[in-house]
Amino acid sequence: MAAEPQTTTSANSAAQSDAPLLEVKNLQTQFFTQDGVVRAVDNVSFYIKPGETLGVVGESGSGKSITGLSLMRLIPSPPGKIVQGEVIFQGKDVLKMSDEQVRNIRGNDIAMIFQDPMTSLNPVLTINRQISESLMLHMKMNKEQAKNRAIELLKMVGIPNAEARVDQYPHQFSGGMRQRVMIAMALSCNPKLLIADEPTTALDVTIQAQILDLMRNLQSETGAGVMMITHSMGVVAGMADRVQVMYAGHIVETATTEEIFANPRHPYTIGLMKSIPRLDARTKEKLQPIRGLPPDLIDLPDMCPFVPRCNYAREQCEQKNPPLMEVSPGHLSACWFYKEVSKDDDQDVIAAKFGHPQPSDATSDVDPDAPDLGVSNVQMGEG
């Protein structure tokens, strides 16, 4: 179901100041492969204020996670390389720091929650060892102090019997509990910026809600800025103050959460919203998928990368990639025709108007004789 944006807490609002905690300018991250140069993040600029949550949303391959890893200088090299840009954290450019300076802020001032805790946690080290290492390095604690702090952190994130479980190994924890451990590790040194990369991936809905509630409460207590990376519009609706939509390595729209849900002005943003089931939808109303697939990021032409999938696309879109343009103060859209784009448009009508076939009409590899298994909104008792 499509979640509606929640009003941010007064604690978050009070914590926010005019000066950005993080300011990213013209960031470009590329991967040099045998097939060519993959422009994973292409000229991206944004900011995060203290106490603010920025939701970064998009499909797999849109550049969300690579952006987060770039901020931490964790891009594997080779084949990856940050080729241009500035990452200004508290007035200093992370990209110009020495390796030692980066190690001092990584896990201390800037922390990251990774997608898969089972691959991020070391399977042969106890939870105590993994949390304590950071505390002993950055907080200069001895082993006893670090263990006591590790137990305190596990209790804080809701892990029962923390005194015993702190000496257990990752495989002895459930998926939800491992994710709580990752959050505890990320918060161990009281970071000023937390990058959460798909923190609820592969968790069931109940555990997802618990993890998001936990992060929301901990942020209100610590006042940390948060970059929430996700593919879910529902997650950003419930967590973010502002939303940044990414596609093919570019930011295609950014605005406050309330504004982007009420008045989206990029066809891709609208496509993401229309592909979410809604409880208030008419019986058996089909979802409207985004046709086609994301583009290959090797040698992209200078055109809007969403053209092959866009119902509004026309000749101008194929001639030059649009910059981010101001829709209203704080609301930017990278669409030449943002004034015409509306979430209330009937996408079938728009597609027909500009000569773009919908998925049901488009040629594909699907067997034409196969039964229709299209997803519908079916109410209980009528399906």
Give residue-wise pLDDT tens across range 80-126. 999 999 999 999 999 999 999 998 898 889 999 887 777 789 999 99
Average pLDDT, the chain: 84
**Amino acid letter for position 246:** M
pLDDT at 357 over 70: no
Handedness of CA 113, 117, 123, 127 (dihedral sign): positive
Q: What is the mean pLDDT of residues 228-234?
A: 89
The residue that leads in pLDDT, 13 or 346, is 346
Q: What is the mean pLDDT of residues 213-232?
A: 87
The domain spans of the chain are 1-109+191-291+325-343, 121-189
- Rounded Cα distance between 183 and 114, Å, is 9
Q: What is the mean pLDDT of residues 351-372?
A: 49
Cβ-count burial 98-126 (b if 16+ within 10 Å, e if not): eeeeeeebbbbbbbbbbbebeebbeeeeb
Q: What is the pLDDT of residues 246-270, one digit of tens each?
A: 999 999 999 999 999 999 999 999 9
Sheet of strand 53-57: strand arrangement: 110-113, 193-197, 225-230, 53-57, 242-247, 250-256, 331-333, 325-328
Mention the CATH class of domain 1-109+191-291+325-343: alpha beta
The upper half-sphere exposure of residue 276, i.e. CA atoms within 13 Å in the direction of its Cβ, equals 20
pLDDT at 367 over 60: no
For a pLDDT cut of 70, what percent of the chain falls above it?
A: 84
pLDDT at 360 over 50: no
Given this model, what pLDDT does residue 15 score? 43
Given this model, what pLDDT does residue 17 score? 54
How many of the other CB atoms lie within 10 Å of CB of 163?
A: 11
- Rounded Cα distance between 178 and 109, Å, is 22
How many of the other CB atoms lie within 10 Å of CB of 363?
A: 7
The residue that leads in pLDDT, 269 or 219, is 269
- Rounded Cα distance between 260 and 242, Å, is 8
- Rounded Cα distance between 335 and 339, Å, is 9
pLDDT at 373 over 70: no
- Rounded Cα distance between 58 and 181, Å, is 26
- Rounded Cα distance between 80 and 76, Å, is 5
The top-scoring range by mean pLDDT among 179-183, 246-250, 270-274, 339-343 is 246-250
Q: What is the pLDDT of residues 126-174, one digit of tens each?
A: 999 999 998 998 888 999 999 999 999 999 888 899 999 999 999 999 8
Given this model, what pLDDT does residue 284 score? 65
- Sequence-ordered list of residues with C-beta below 8 angstroms from that of 14, at least 6 positions apart, any chain: 51
Query: Phi first, then psi: what are they for 73, rounded to 5°?
Result: 55, 50
The residue that leads in pLDDT, 31 or 235, is 31
**Amino acid letter for position 17:** S
pLDDT at 345 over 80: no
Partners of 23 in the β-ladder:
47, 88
pLDDT at 349 over 80: no
For a pLDDT cut of 90, what percent of the chain falls above it?
A: 51
The residue that leads in pLDDT, 84 or 7, is 84
- Sequence-ordered list of residues with C-beta below 8 angstroms from that of 18, at least 6 positions apart, any chain: 49
